[in-house]
Structure 1
Amino acid sequence: MANIKNDGVTLEAMTTRAVSLSDAVLRTPVVPLKTPLIGDLMGGGSVFLKLECFQHTGTFKARGALSVARQIPEDRLGAGITAASAGNHAIAAAWAARQCGMSAKVVMQNTANPFRIARARAEQADVILRDPGPDTFAEAERLSREEGRTFIHPFEGIDTTLGASGVGLELIQDVPELDAVIVSVGGGGLISGVAAAIKAVNPKCKVFGVEPTGADSMSRSLAAGQPIALDKVMTIADSLAPPMALPFGYALCAAYVDEIVTVTDDQICAGMVVLQQEAKLAVEPAAGAAIAGMIGPLRARLLGQKIGVVICGANMDAASYEVLLARGRDHLDELIAP
């Protein structure tokens, strides 16, 4: 594993940040997923779900966004914040701004799910729609430059990681003897914090990431030994689809993540079906990816073990959910096959 020096992501820093956010962030439940199917698939192992889908704004993103927002100097609060997002981060940034008494002007991709756009507006954000990719970020940069708004990055930076680390701290406190933790990976903001927290408390616990095959920037970066950008991304899991890894999140993943595996969109949809049928949870594709990673590419090495799975979010409208669920039912047998 890589060695990170002076990164500031220490157990003390993570614990202090979690305490400081506890007045506003929910301590989400950890529940066992104990059904005949899961027991058979995982060789009698124990599976525990960390339900960040019940966090404010519907995803773990609220933790990082509030962690960043609370570091904004008092003399800049009046200018408010901006963010660039496909959906979940915009919602969380708007929520965080509201908690801090700031205005939010967020830039969302014009391909974003209308449900997520409506959720951002419900958090009192002024929403601007732009083409995906560079145009979205360019508009947020313009707002920061011309209006003085603080840009809250969707996944990169120490304050984002410290905020997300609360997920890992809570999980390992509730289930101290975990053998492995599984986290879906987009830009790395979540897994960098979770992995750092897990390893600080229980170094023997393995941390596995799961990426879509069509958006595997972090696993490719780890293989290359440096952050890389993808020429294109193609996945239904839009919240796992940043086209690049960036230095801070990459370095933490290189240090603390044991391995990242990939799953197809069909497997992701099948994972959503598993969570609906076995856990009674209606989740977005990013959460389906984590359970698909456990049942698919990671299953053989996790048989009989005690496993934590982060259920990262559930921001999905009913119509889109049903389409993906139908696709998942068509591929469920492939995912759970021996």
Structure 2
Amino acid sequence: MNSLFKDACTSSVADGPSLHEIQQTAKRLDGLIVETPVWRWQSGIVEQVLKPSTRVWLKLELFQHTGSFKLRGAMNCVASLDAPALRQGVAAASAGNHAIAVAYAAHSVGTHARLAMPRHASPVRIAACKAHAAEVHLTDTVHEAFALARRWVDEEGRTMVHPFDGPQIAQGTATVGLELMRQVPQLDAVVVPVGGGGLIGGIAAAVKQINPDCIVLGVEPFGADAMYRSFHAGHTQTLERVATIADSLGAPYTLPYSFSLCQRYVDAIVRVSDDELARAMHWLFRDMKLVAEPAAAAATAALFGPLKAQLDGMRVGLLVCGTNIDAPRFAEHVERGAALNSEPQMAE
């Protein structure tokens, strides 16, 4: 299906976590994270527009501690620190979900977190970080946030916990795939939202080592499609600007490690519009009663959008990755989605 992408770069590809390493990571994280549930989606839009033979399961990672999958990678990084590193503390830069995860992980193991967050970050997410005893510094841009976090590493000896890149992040996110493949054996396809690639890279490594025939597909917003562009270019890409309601998927670039994992294990990346994300948020709320942030609706948007013809009739797992959104913004997006879903073209 995606041989062009697979052939683009076969050298210098990260081996990624082995299945044994993923299993060992799951044991290490046992008791520190939640094994999130899977729920079969059988009502509403699934009945209305998909073939009766289609089976759809939602991996509900929004029920994770801190409200997103980010805790898996952050906890794996922080819990592996030795005593001197724990005394120095950790640093991170993030617009929200990763920052919350690092704050929670640091507090859990008794170390201190300094977090650089852009001022446009949701107040709900900033408050969640402070609730876990993290020290939060606000910057004008995401780029300034990363520069500040790196300065803390250089000047204070803190350990940087990256939001999406590196072996420990991939080991942590891979445990999502390990759980899913045990919870729903013999899936035909797994669909995963893509920001920087750390989530899908880890999940795909687990899925493909357990069942090489299972298709792994990534989803990005049109306004934040660095991984899509990287796949087509055959090397990492940087975006000039990011513009999407899915702020959790707004990574402005790809990095070598996570990109190489995606090249090795991911079959294709597709893109969805903000309108499609809003529609999917509405379906998840209406049919499944889930409060999903825009990023968490990306896999659903792809199933009923660019992937519908390809996946209809298959056994499909969709990752619902997070729920950290304030009530007014959630209502705004769901109302937008409801209005779009009531238009004539959705009457099928």
Task: Quickly name the TM-score band, shorter chain normalised.
Answer: over 0.9
CA contact (8 A) 1:39 1:46 kept: no
Structure 2 residue 249 is matched with structure 1 residue 247: no
Question: In the aligned structure 2, how far is the partner of 1:137 from the partner of 1:148?
Answer: 16
Q: Secondary structure at the match of 1:192?
A: helix
Aligned to 1:86: 95
Cα drift, residue 39 of structure 1: 2.6
| TM-score, normalised with respect to structure 2 | 0.94
Alignment of 1:1-338 (within 5 A): 1=6, 3=10, 7-44=15-52, 45-333=54-342, 336=346
Q: Secondary structure at the match of 2:224?
A: coil
Q: Secondary structure at the match of 2:75?
A: helix
Gaps of 5+ in 1: none
Question: In the aligned structure 2, how far is the partner of 1:113 from the partner of 1:215?
Answer: 18
CA contact (8 A) 1:176 1:202 kept: no
Question: In the aligned structure 1, how far is the partner of 2:294 from the partner of 2:278?
Answer: 7
> 1:113-166 CA distances to partner (integer Å, 9 max, x unpaired)?
101100111111010000223211011011111111111000000000100001
Gaps of 5+ in 2: 1-5
CA contact (8 A) 1:296 1:336 kept: no
> 1:286-324 CA distances to partner (integer Å, 9 max, x unpaired)?
011110011110001111111000100000111111111
Percentage of identical aligned residues? 45
Cα drift, residue 212 of structure 1: 0.3
| TM-score, normalised with respect to structure 1 | 0.97
Question: In the aligned structure 2, how far is the partner of 1:210 from the partner of 1:8?
Answer: 21
Q: Which amino acid aligns with 2:226?
A: S
| Aligned CA distance change for structure 1 residues 6 and 267 (closer, same or farther; 3 Å) | closer
Cα drift, residue 40 of structure 1: 3.3
Question: In the aligned structure 2, how far is the partner of 1:185 from the partner of 1:5?
Answer: 19
CA contact (8 A) 2:279 2:334 kept: yes
Cα drift, residue 8 of structure 1: 4.4
Q: Which amino acid aligns with 1:211?
A: E
Q: Secondary structure at the match of 2:223?
A: coil
- Supply the RMSD in Å over aligned alpha carbons: 1.4
Question: In the aligned structure 2, how far is the partner of 1:119 from the partner of 1:325?
Answer: 23
Matched residue pairs, number?
A: 338
Aligned to 2:3: none
Q: Which amino acid aligns with 1:226?
A: H
**Structure 1 residue runs of 4 or more that deviate by more than 6 Å after TM superposition:** none
